[in-house]
Amino acid sequence: MLKKLYKDQGGQTFFELLFALPFIFFMLYLSFEFGAMLYNKAIINYSSGVAAVRAATNGQFTTDIRRSQADFIENWTIGGKDYGYVVTEENGPSEPSEDTVYIYGTDSNDTIQRGSNISGYVIYPIKFKIPLFDKLGTAVVEDSPLIMKSHFDIPSEVFFE
């Protein structure tokens, strides 16, 4: 009985595979894309941690520290060379661009006394490699670019007299 049922369903496996293959490719693509996003997030958080330690030991979040953080992000993130980098002083952008990484924080000219906090921020835009997913992502967040943010707030270790 089972043999007869199976024999009558010849070709069904081929059609099931035709419907399943796009779903399998979609899942593979998403796993690679989200893996790249997690990798980029880890790199951005690591660079923020290194910049925080350097800023705390110097007593200020200097432009050199910001530029070295921008260079590290540019060299180590996936697609980091495709972005422009803006190293600003105190305030970040009111409307972040989808082609620019912003690094900003406490004023670089201010020396922060021991125990007071030094703050730093990174805004990193997310781009998908397939335009359809990029449009879906921006539609979900209401036409603003998808961004990853990193922030540190660390007390200064330097005592200035």
Q: What is the pLDDT of residues 31-88, one digit of tens each?
A: 998 899 999 999 999 999 999 999 999 999 999 999 999 999 999 999 899 999 999 7
Q: Which residues contact 85 (CB under 8 A, 6 or more apart)?
A: 70, 73, 74, 100, 101, 103
Q: Is residue 142 a part of any domain in this protein?
A: yes
Q: Is residue 37 a part of any domain in this protein?
A: yes
Q: Is residue 6 a part of any domain in this protein?
A: no
Q: Is residue 15 a part of any domain in this protein?
A: yes
The pTM of the whole model exceeds 0.75? yes
Q: Are 98 and 82 in contact (CB under 8 A)?
A: no
The helix, strand and coil proportions of the chain, stated in percent and rounded to the nearest 5, come to: 50, 15, 30
Q: Is residue 54 a part of any domain in this protein?
A: yes
Q: Is residue 2 a part of any domain in this protein?
A: no
The model's pLDDT over 9-40, given as tens digits with 9 standing for 90+, comes to: 556 777 777 888 888 888 898 899 889 999 99
Largest CA distance in the chain: 93
Q: Which domain holds residue 47?
A: 11-155
Q: Is residue 161 a part of any domain in this protein?
A: no
What total of structural domains would you count in the chain? 1
Q: Are 42 and 141 in contact (CB under 8 A)?
A: no
Distance CA 68, CA 54 (A): 11
Q: Is residue 106 a part of any domain in this protein?
A: yes
Q: Are 108 and 60 in contact (CB under 8 A)?
A: yes
